[in-house]
Structure 1
Amino acid sequence: MERVSSDQFVASGMLPERREDEGPFSWWNEMRPRFFKGFHRCLPALATAGNDLIVEHVIEYRTWREELSRLLTDFDVFLVGVHCDLAEIDRREHERGDRRAGEGRGHVEINGMHTFGPYDYEVNTTNGVSTTLVQSVVTAWRSRGARRALTTF
């Protein structure tokens, strides 16, 4: 299994450093939308080449979920919803230091990211990620039925 995340692409230097609208480019309005369209399109390309993927991704918008549903329709996708208390999201965001203040909270409160449809399995990481929690995801994946949440809205 290969782990893929948009943060890996950013860390590789694929994009210039984040800047606000007053900078030489607009991250939020210009670069970010193009970046995520490309990221979404690379997932079926990697899977088609025979890679089994664990994708770490925040599906921030309903349109992203719809796009991923279309792009990944031919693949066995097991969608895991990862939840966390807002205070802990704020703490982790501050600790990382590479996010705008309130970005994580905004995904939940403003974008409503967990309201776009069901998940195949859900976990809560407020208290961290334990071996037991990881094993619960693996167990759920192994015992999954025909339901595929990514195709359900």
Structure 2
Amino acid sequence: MASAGNDVIMDHPLSERWRVADLLETLAGYDVTLVEVRCSPEELERRDRERGDRPIGLALSQTLVYANGEFDIVVDTTATSPEECAKRIVHSLGALSSPEAFDRFRLRRLPERRH
């Protein structure tokens, strides 16, 4: 889809080093904006219970995605609706600095390749 020139929104947890490495390689050459979606531990647990289709604590265990430390936009869904978070993301897109987080992350994490 992206190769055909389409904008793509992807939800992908960066909770494991191999996931990050995979995306850095797979998305090389693409303009990537990293959005950090946060939520309080209490609200994550409440949502897990309400969903009822997965173990309580699963969402909280995925908060390792914050450990990467590189994001372009941050939203907190604890008390903010999905619609408001989407508006904040759209509003923030025009104010992004360069290089974007994904590029900074790539420069910091990937060793130079020798040819």
Verify same fold: TM over 0.5: yes
Contact 1:82 1:125 in 2 (8 A): yes
Q: 1:104 aligns with which of 59, 71, 84?
A: 59
Partner of 1:150: 102
Aligned residue among 61, 65, 69 for 2:20: 65
Structure having greater relative contact order (Cα 8 Å, sep ≥ 6): 2
CA-atom RMSD in angstroms: 1.7
Segments of 5+ residues of structure 2 without an aligned counterpart are 109-115
Distance 2:31 2:84 in 1: 24
CA distance in 2, matches of 1:124, 1:98: 23
Secondary structure, in 3 states, of the residue corresponding to 2:15?
coil
State how far apart, in whole Å, the 1-side matches of 2:39 and 2:21 are. Answer: 24
Q: 1:84 aligns with which of 39, 44, 52?
A: 39
1:14 matched residue in structure 2: none
Answering whether residue 76 of structure 2 is matched by residue 121 of structure 1, we say no
CA distance in 1, matches of 2:54, 2:12: 15
What corresponds to 1:51 in structure 2?
Answer: 6
* Structure 1 residues 143 and 47, CA gap change in structure 2 (3 angstroms): same
Which TM-score applies when normalising by structure 2? 0.79
Partner of 2:85: 133
Q: Cα deviation per residue 1:99-151 (whole Å; 9 max; x = unaligned)?
A: 2221111112xxx2211231011111100325443222112112222222123
Aligned twin of 1:16: none
